[in-house]
A and B are shown apart, each in its own frame.
Chain A
Amino acid sequence: MNLHARTLALRNARDTLLRQPAATVLTILALSVVLALPVGLFTVLGNLQNLLGHWRNQAQISLYLHRNAGPVAVARLRARLERSPGVVGVRYVGQTEALAEFQHYSGMMAAIRTLGENPLPASLIVELNPLAQSPQILEASVQRWSRDPAVASAQSDLQWVARLQAIVSLGTRAVWALAFLLALGAVLVMGNTIRLHIAQRRDEIDISALVGATRSFIRRPFLYQGLIQGVLAGVLAWLIVMAAIWYLQGPVNRLAALYGTRFPLVSLTPGQGMALVALSAFLGWLGSRIAVGRRLDNTFS
């Protein structure tokens, strides 16, 4: 198909949209809200996962070392731990440091002194990203590390990691389900809009068919209409999500300051934004394709 025909169809689509500015704006607004909802939720979920990732000191495993474990064996174990997936840091706590911590937190130094020598072992504190691996894999890693000759025993609380991961998984799945439903909604919104345009232009479609127009000639302006509205709705949805993140950043900053930390919210990256626009354009095109296809089946049957 030549460029002239495509240009003609594009002009036709543009003119149709401009002839009914209110209807066009309302359709774009409806589509953008439908798209902004799941994308906004995904963004919030992503920020939540970032936040949980920051809580890595909550996911710690303590590997208590044998008294006779030499510095070479400990260094080798430490290097092995640091290379392990999901491990974000390994800290060595010597006997003296352990005693100082015990004194600081327990206040039972008098009892310890009666023992004559420091009974607390040295340990390696392994800090984990709680969302990097499944609890089963983490548990297996702990088992493996605890079998190292330098390790006397291991202490871990992976139950809360399992709970956290279950909650995040539930949230992700809920957002995906919502996204699917809203994407379906977007297709229906666009399909219904194009269906109304088709009803208004039924004479044009029939006359075009009578003078020898092909299906693609008749279909193309409607597809471009869906595509244009989809692109504009995608851009608007992107702006809505960015505005929402900007709007939330103030309260999040104040909340984070109360915990003595900073937490900059992450918005959509340019790549994600472009993907959103592309998805929106596709949904607009798809809705149009379905609506116009049904009409053309009647015209050409």
Chain B
Amino acid sequence: MIEFVNVTKHYPGRRHVLREVTLRLGQGEMALLTGPSGSGKSTLLKLLTRLEDVSHGTLMVGGVDLAMLRRRHIPADRRRIGVVFQDHKLLMDRDIFSNVALTLQVAGVSGRQVESRVRAALDRVGLGERWREFPETLSGGEQQRVGIARAIVHTPEILLADEPTGNLDPALSTEILDLFRDFHHHGTTVLVATHDQAQVERLGMPVLHLEHGRLMVPKELS
């Protein structure tokens, strides 16, 4: 599903952010991406959504070489992926329903289907009754749940999360990461970047550890 082969990312005039990263994450697998700040976790996720381009090496997602993907096909490719951000990236002037519906609207899903699918996604993250509220009335954990609902409402093949529990207390972090594990159990390929060591140990998932742009891959993913 996701395959990095000797992927390097560097910016002109700056040090290498990723160095010859090689890993393979099969369909329905889940892994945790760990490492200190600045180790390249966010950059690795950005490569998967083509927010950044690979400098060297090959990156395949769902059998597609992202370097060969034409620019106009990037939006369609992004619709195969759900992304959850540390800062939620919610539209504060839109209600919860509209925030989650955005993912379906950009995909051209018709109005009636949008409503049922958004309600189902919000039910899955435990916010089914609060769809008319605005994000500012929600707690940090609830806002993150809205972000997750937006990421999974179109049932993506791949779910990426960049420090989704970064601003949450341990109890909420557990709830959120359990949600990701639940999606993994339903067949979604999940890659979660986190530096929460306690949660990493609790989940017992394969760990990809980044250190200065180099990846330490567990045997089962190499």
| A interface, CB within 8 angstroms of B | 1-2, 4-5, 8, 203-204, 206-215, 217, 300
- In the complex the two chains form, what is the Cα distance from A171 to B90 in whole Å? 56
Residue among A5, A206, A214 with the highest chain B CB neighbour number at 10 A: A214
Are B106 and A211 within 8 A (Cβ)? yes
Which residues on B sit within 8 Å (CB–CB) of A207? Answer: 89, 91, 102
Q: How many residues of B contact A (CB 8 A)?
A: 22
Chain A residues with Cβ under 8 A from B76's Cβ?
212
Given A203-B89, A203-B91, A207-B89: A212 and B106 within 8 A (CB)? yes
Main secondary structure of the interface of A (DSSP, over half): helix
Q: Verify A210–B91 contact, CB threshold 8 A.
A: no
Nearest CB of chain A from residue B104's CB, rounded to whole Å: 9
Known contacts: A2-B108, A5-B105. The answer to whether A211 contacts B91 by CB under 8 A is no
The interface residues of chain A lying within 8 Å CB-to-CB of B78 are 210-212
| Closest B residue by C-beta to A211 | B103
A208→B74 CA distance, assembly (Å): 13
Closest to B151 in A: A211
Whole-angstrom distance between the alpha carbons of A276 and B96 in the complex? 42
Cβ–Cβ < 8 Å partners of B51 in chain A: 210
| B97-121 contact mask (Cβ, 8 Å, vs A): 1 or 0 | 0000011011110110000000000
Question: A-facing mask of B46-69, CB < 8 A → 1, else 0?
Answer: 000101000000000000000000
B31 to chain A, nearest CB (A): 22
Q: Does B83 sit at the interface, judged by CB under 8 A?
A: yes
> Which of A203, A206, A213 interacts with B75 by CB under 8 Å?
A213
Residues of A within 8 A of B79 (CB): 211-212
* Distance of A298 from chain B, by nearest CB (Å): 13
Selected from A2, A4, A212, the residue in CB contact (under 8 A) with B103 is A212
12 contacts between A and B (CB under 8 A): A4-B110, A4-B111, A5-B105, A5-B108, A207-B102, A208-B102, A210-B49, A211-B103, A211-B106, A212-B79, A214-B106, A300-B71
Any A CB within 8 A of the CB of B150 = yes
Q: Which residues of A contact B108 (CB under 8 A)?
A: 1-2, 4-5
Q: Determine the distance from Cα of A289 to Cα of B98 in the docked complex, in whole angstroms.
A: 25
Residues of chain A within 8 A (CB-CB) of B91 are 203-204, 207
Contact, CB under 8 Å: B150 / A211: yes
The complex places the Cα of A204 from the Cα of B106 at a distance, in Å, of 12
Q: How far is the CA of A210 from the CA of B89 in the complex (A)?
A: 10
CA distance in complex: A215, B74 (Å)? 11
